[in-house]
Every structure is written in C-alpha cells, then in structure tokens.
Amino acid sequence: HAPTLITRINRRIPERTSHRVADHAQVARVLGFFQCHSRPAQAFDEAMTQFEMSRQGLLQLFRRVGVTELEARSGTLPPALQRWHRILQASGMKRAEPSRASAQTPDQASLHAFADSLERELDAPSPIDRAGQALASSSRKRSRSESSVTGASAQQAVEVLVPEQRDALHLPPLSWGV
C-alpha cells in the first residue's frame, strides 16, 4: 500500500533533475547508518566513504527524505514523522494553519482527504495479512503431526511483518530529485 501512496505523491512532484538518484534500498541503508552511528558528527564523512557517494550525492539523498544539509552534516537526523511532514510540504500538501472560521480552507480539505485515504490504505488488509490467513487455514488442513504452524503463530508472524511494511512510508519515490 505504501508504494502505491508514494507513487501517487510522486506524480504531483515534478522531476527537477534528469538523472535518477539513490534507490529505496540505498536510502534505507544510509538512514540506518546515520541512526546507528556512534559518533554522529563524523557520520557524514564516513557515509561518503562507506557508500562511495560524493558530498552532493549524499546531500541530494538526504533532501529527498526531508533532511536539511545542516542536519545531515552534523549527523543529527530528525524523527521520521518530521521528515514525512517535510516531504508532504514539498509535495504541495502543506499543513494548513488552524482556521478561526468554521469552514475548512481548500488546503485543509485536501490535507484531510489525503490523511483519510492514507488511513484507509493502512487499514485495508495487506497481501501479508492475506498470506497469513492462507497459512493459518492451510495449517489446519495438515495432520496433527505435521501441524507445527498454528493460526496463532501465523498471526504473530503477520504482526511481525506489518510494522516493517509501514516503515516503507518513510521512503520517498525514486524519481524525487533535488
């Protein structure tokens, strides 16, 4: 669901560069490197070496995920929620200031519609949920000696996988440029 949502947002943002930048996996590796680094002030320089990226390339990657140059250079990344708000703001889905009037402004209405669609996407059963249900029903068909996977353990496996899927919301589309 998250890739579909990201693709929709991606269509609203014009490509500003003619070349593609880092893929989702590399973005995740770089963010993980910074978040786990024991010396944040040296993380930027070490990341350039570790990921064989230029200073500009690394800064471009960080701009795509809502991190400023100052934050990247100092190794202090903002929380994912703050980065996500910055990405939405850059996409034109700016957060409207609270209005004193009872009617919503167009910006507020579009933001609420977007939030509602995001919630529906997250609440809908995912392929992982359906796979877990299929696994649970197939385990009931096995003989007792073969039945090592129960419906409860299949559900636990699904619950372990779903948070990882939701983390994908923090990954921007490939075509987001600087």
Higher pLDDT, 150 or 122: 122
Answer whether residue 142 is part of any domain.
Answer: yes
Do 86 and 139 sit in the same domain of this protein?
A: no
Higher pLDDT, 122 or 85: 85
Q: What is the pLDDT of residue 153?
A: 47
Based on DSSP, count helices (H) and strands (E) in the chain, helices before strands: 9, 0
Residue partners of 42: CB distance under 8 A and separation at least 6: 75
Number of domains in the chain: 2
Q: What percent of the chain has pLDDT over 70?
A: 40
Helices (DSSP H) in 40-150: which residue ranges?
A: 40-50, 55-64, 69-74, 80-90, 106-123, 127-141
The boundaries of the domain holding residue 150 are: 127-166
Answer whether residue 161 is part of any domain.
Answer: yes
Do 82 and 7 sit in the same domain of this protein?
A: yes
C-alpha Rg value of the chain to the nearest Å: 20
In contact, 171 and 24? CB cutoff 8 Å: yes
Retrieve residue 48's tokens: 């350039």
Answer whether residue 58 is part of any domain.
Answer: yes
Retrieve residue 14's tokens: 């014009």
Q: What is the pLDDT of residues 35-86, one digit of tens each?
A: 899 999 999 999 999 999 999 999 999 998 999 999 999 999 999 999 989 8
Do 12 and 85 sit in the same domain of this protein?
A: yes
Residue partners of 11: CB distance under 8 A and separation at least 6: none
Q: What is the pLDDT of residue 92?
A: 78
Answer whether residue 158 is part of any domain.
Answer: yes
Provide the mean pLDDT of the chain.
69
Flag whether the pTM goes above 0.75: no
Higher pLDDT, 126 or 38: 38
